[in-house]
């Protein structure tokens, strides 16, 4: 429901020019709020927020969250951090600084402003889990010295900071543990499995599967995830988290590859490569807590969510395919709430 002027909030979204952040901003603006987007554009892009220029309730500041920020806001969503292994391993020290120093700076801001702050944490805090599916009380199985540690341990330390600011300074915090999320505006070269497969299929290149493809993942469509983040932010004060947010439907990597091939109607072959270090074998959220406390459940199936995602990548890779680009724009504007408007028979 759109907010009236009196109940309108000014909301800071760090990492707002990124994939999830830009969709979150769309939702907050649709809800009638003012949004201040702070991003250093490391993995985000101006294109992701281009459509918001001229929107009077939207502002953008190019800023690195490892440096102090002095602004006046009513709420903070802290999303700034590269999320894909390719990006977070590019400059591991900057990744840790972004998670840890960025969290300290944003928590300091929340403390001064006495405002709520939500942390975009990750399922990576569970590492290579020894229990399945992962519930929030599982402490994880993380390698502290591996190549993924800059991200995993950075995010774990950020969670610690959130809880200590809450205990020590009574800052109102919320911690979301986000599982694999996909959708339009993902980076086309971020090395994440959904974007990788789609780009390879659209280019007619072989689809690369690491290992034998029996490792499983769960995939949450971005609109569902954003809905969960907003519900968590708006939840009662006593709900701090961590709360798992993800889609519990589990698929093998090989199944995902087949869905992408079907939806893109690509004739790409499948190529297998050795499994990288610390690659988790299974990943599926237990969302009992989110269901109970937030009445949240993902609504978009993988096949359904792949359609607008593929249309988005098609518009980047083959701008000449105008019909597909228009389909994407229609999706992007209305989200999957308008899914019934999609032509029967799926992606052409
Ligand atoms: N996408 C997922 O599947 C997923 C899963 C778990 C957690 N998350 C978390 O959600 C958040 C958003 O992820 P995303 O997928 O949108 O990634 P993304 O890379 O698209 O977005 C991250 C944004 O943060 C910005 N950023 C990075 N370092 C910064 C810094 N020092 N100062 C200011 N801005 C900085 C980037 O430029 C980018 O716009 C991240 O915190 C990520 O860890 C994402």
pLDDT score of 328 more than 80: no
Q: Are strands 216-218 and 250-252 parallel, antiparallel or unpaired?
A: antiparallel
- Token pair belonging to 276: 């990288």
Ligand 1 pocket check: which of 67, 79, 92, 179 to mutate, most ligand atoms within 8 Å of Cβ?
79
Q: Of all protein residues, whose CA lies closest to atom 1 belonging to ligand 1? A: 181
Q: Is the pLDDT of residue 2 over 90?
A: no
- Residues touching ligand 1 (Cβ under 6 Å) are 14-15, 17-21, 39-44, 64-66, 79-83, 87, 98, 102, 120, 122, 178, 180-181
How many angstroms is it from 244 CA to the middle of ligand 1?
Answer: 17
* Residue 19, pLDDT score: 97
Residue nearest to atom 28 of ligand 1 (CA): 81
Alpha helices in the chain (DSSP H): 19-30, 85-88, 92-113, 149-169, 193-203, 222-233, 253-264, 288-294, 302-317, 322-334
- Taking the centre of ligand 1 as the mean of its atom positions, its distance from the CA of residue 134, in whole angstroms, is 22
**How are strands ordered across the β-sheet holding 116-122?**
58-62, 34-39, 10-14, 75-78, 116-122, 173-178, 243-245
Q: What is the pLDDT of residues 131-144, one digit of tens each?
A: 888 999 999 999 99
The pTM for the full model equals 0.89
- Going by CA atoms, what residue is nearest to atom 35 of ligand 1? 80
Residue 346 CA to ligand 1 centre (angstroms): 30
Expressed in angstroms and rounded, the spacing between residue 197 Cα and the centre of ligand 1 is: 21
- Residues 154-166: what's their mean pLDDT? 98
Q: How confident is the model at residue 283, as a pLDDT?
A: 75
**DSSP type of residue 243:** E
pLDDT value of residue 7: 78
Let me know: does 23 contact 223? Beta carbons within 8 Å: yes
> What's the pLDDT score for residue 131?
87
Cis amide linkage into residue 161, ω under 30° from 0: no
pLDDT tens by residue, 266-286: 999 999 998 876 666 777 899
Model confidence at 153, in pLDDT bands (50, 70, 90)? Answer: very high
What is the tens place of the pLDDT at every residue in 18-36?
999 999 999 999 999 999 9
Chain-wide mean pLDDT for the chain?
89
- Which of the pair, 300 or 130, is modelled with greater confidence? 300
Whose Cα sits closest to atom 30 in ligand 1? 64
pLDDT at 345: 23
Closest Cα to atom 44 of ligand 1:
83
Helix (H/G/I), strand (E/B), else coil: 52: helix
Q: Percent of the chain, pLDDT > 70?
A: 88
pLDDT at 322 over 80: no
Question: Residue 324 has what pLDDT?
Answer: 35
What is the pLDDT, as a whole number, of residue 190? 83
Instruction: Give the Å distances, CA to CA, from 69 to 17, 39, 292.
Output: 17, 12, 36
Name the pLDDT band for 189 (thresholds 50, 70, 90): confident
Tell which atom from ligand 1 comes closest to the C-alpha of 81: 27
Q: Can you give the pLDDT at residue 318? A: 67
**Which of 19-28, 47-56, 244-253, 273-282 has the weakest average pLDDT?**
273-282
Active site residues: 151
Q: Does the pLDDT of residue 308 top 90, yes or no?
A: yes
Measured in Å, residue 26 CA sits from the centre of ligand 1 at: 16
Relative to the CA of 65, which ligand 1 atom is closest? 32
For residue 237, the model assigns a pLDDT of 95
Is the Cβ–Cβ distance between 272 and 212 less than 8 Å? yes
Given a cut of 70, whether residue 99 has pLDDT beyond it is: yes
pLDDT of residue 91: 96
């Amino acid at each position: 429901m759109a907010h009236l002027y009196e109940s309108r909030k000014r909301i800071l979204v760090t990492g707002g020019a990124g994939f999830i952040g830009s969709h979150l901003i769309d939702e907050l603006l649709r809800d009638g709020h003012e949004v201040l987007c702070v991003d250093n554009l490391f993995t985000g892009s101006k294109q992701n927020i281009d459509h918001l220029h001229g929107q009077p309730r939207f502002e953008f500041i190019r800023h690195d969250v490892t440096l102090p920020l002095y602004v006046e806001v009513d709420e903070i969503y802290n999303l700034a951090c590269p999320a894909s292994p390719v990006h977070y391993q590019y400059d591991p020290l900057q990744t840790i600084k972004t998670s840890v120093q960025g969290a300290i700076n944003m928590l300091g801001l929340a403390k001064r402003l006495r405002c709520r702050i939500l942390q975009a944490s990750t399922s990576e805090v569970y590492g290579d889990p020894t229990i399945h599916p992962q519930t929030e009380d599982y402490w994880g199985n993380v390698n502290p010295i591996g190549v993924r540690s800059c991200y995993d341990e950075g995010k774990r330390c950020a969670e610690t900071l959130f809880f200590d600011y809450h205990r020590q300074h009574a800052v109102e915090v919320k911690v979301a543990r986000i599982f694999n999320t996909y959708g339009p505006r993902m980076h086309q070269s971020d090395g994440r499995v959904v974007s990788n497969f789609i780009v390879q299929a659209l280019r007619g290149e072989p689809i690369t599967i690491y290992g034998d493809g029996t490792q499983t993942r769960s995939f949450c469509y971005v609109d569902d995830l954003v809905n969960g983040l907003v519900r968590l932010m708006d939840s009662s004060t006593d709900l701090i988290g961590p709360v798992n947010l993800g889609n519990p439907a589990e698929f093998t990597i090989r199944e995902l590859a087949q869905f992408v091939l079907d939806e893109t109607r690509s004739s790409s072959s499948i190529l297998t490569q050795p499994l990288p270090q610390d690659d988790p074998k299974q990943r599926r959220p237990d969302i009992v807590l989110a269901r109970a406390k937030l009445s949240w459940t993902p609504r978009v199936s993988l096949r359904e969510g792949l359609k607008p995602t593929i249309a988005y990548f098609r518009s980047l890779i083959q701008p000449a395919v105008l019909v597909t680009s228009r389909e994407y724009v229609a999706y992007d504007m209305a989200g999957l709430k308008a899914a019934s408007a999609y032509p029967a028979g799926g992606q052409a």
